[in-house]
Amino acid sequence: MVIRRHKQKPAKERKLALDRIDSLFSEAEKQFKEHPELSNRYVELARKIAMKSKVRIRSELKKRLCKHCHSYLKLGINCRVRLSQKHMSYYCLNCRKFMRFPYN
């Protein structure tokens, strides 16, 4: 029986993908006020880059996108935040779904 393992991308390619993801999220932040649909497109491109190059999006950036409709979340504008004793709940006003993130 042959065990196949996923090949890891070269470090140079991973770094390039992470830099590109960071720049797309910063552009989404800048463009959100005037063109929210453009910032959603930037987030969609960042997700595609992450999946293609098999890298993880950093957790602070991952909290800025909706896990259900994949739109860019701006706290207080299209996202409602509630705190409980164990987790932080984000409510997306676009798709009306909840996301929960644990915290200490």
Distance CA(41)–CA(96), nearest Å, equals 19
**For the CA atoms of the chain, what is the radius of gyration?**
16
Mind listing the pLDDT tens digit for each residue in 55-76?
A: 999 999 999 999 999 999 999 9
Banded model confidence at residue 38, pLDDT cuts 50, 70, 90: very high
Mind listing the pLDDT tens digit for each residue in 77-94?
A: 999 999 999 999 999 999
Structure tokens at 47: 């997700």
Average pLDDT taken over every residue of the chain: 92
- Burial class of residue 24, CB neighbours in 10 A (0-12, 13-18, 19+): buried
Fold of domain 11-102:
1.20.5
pTM of the model: 0.84
Domain range annotation of the chain: 11-102
Mind listing the pLDDT tens digit for each residue in 23-34?
A: 999 999 999 999
